[in-house]
Copies of this chain bind each other. A is one copy, B any other.
């Protein structure tokens, strides 16, 4: 199992504050994500600006696309994104159009798993070429007390077997990484665990230390 990457999620409401954390943390992560909140506040400029500030990083446009897959994929990838998220509730036609547009620009679509989805959906996504999904413990679900459990891990294993590499998000801390040692994790996504830490770079180093301890070097 290859070593998971570390993704910084920027869920700031303005670009100015987001870029301050990018300045501090970009050298310590593999992937930088323009979060939904940031994108809805700042528009396409959020993605463009991250591409400019982080020329060597993987940039994610966390747009949770539900429709107009082709148009939105063209915009996200033209603006500099490498990966773009599509919500699991999107019709398969939308996923397919987003994926086709992504491929043309060397990009990738990640399916964001929220609410009602099935393993048959996952197989359908895989069959049209999708190779990534994002497994969530949502911010609101988390706030209402839901935690990572055996049911989550079992579902993640099935998704891995279907052929989807998973990015994992929702209250991820360095200490929690061991939970996922048997899963094909593409990336761990950390937002506030990094950005609200008193020593953000130190937390990033703790993430990498744990990743190396569990999965070995890159």
Give A contacts to B, CB under 8 Å. 11, 13, 36-37, 39-46, 63-64, 66-72, 75, 87-91, 93-94, 96-97, 112, 114-118, 121, 136, 138-141, 143-144
Contact = CB atoms under 8 A, between A and B. Distances in A.
Which of A40, A45, A116 has the most chain B CB atoms closer than 10 A to its own CB? A40
Contact of A140 (B37, B69, B116, B118): B69
A117 B66 CA distance: 14
A75 B11 CA distance: 13
A140 B67 contact: yes
B114 A67 contact: yes
A39 to B, nearest CB: 6
B64 A87 contact: yes
15 contacts: A13-B75, A36-B68, A40-B72, A67-B136, A68-B140, A69-B140, A88-B116, A89-B89, A90-B115, A91-B138, A93-B138, A93-B144, A94-B138, A96-B140, A116-B121
Contact of A116 (B43, B69, B118, B143): B118
A115 B93 contact: no
The 6 closest A-B pairs by CB, nearest first: A43-B43, A89-B115, A89-B89, A93-B140, A116-B116, A94-B140
A202 B19 CA distance: 47
A66 B68 contact: no
A37 B72 CA distance: 7
A139 B68 contact: yes
A75 B41 contact: yes
A16 to B, nearest CB: 13
Contact of A71 (B37, B42, B97, B138): B37
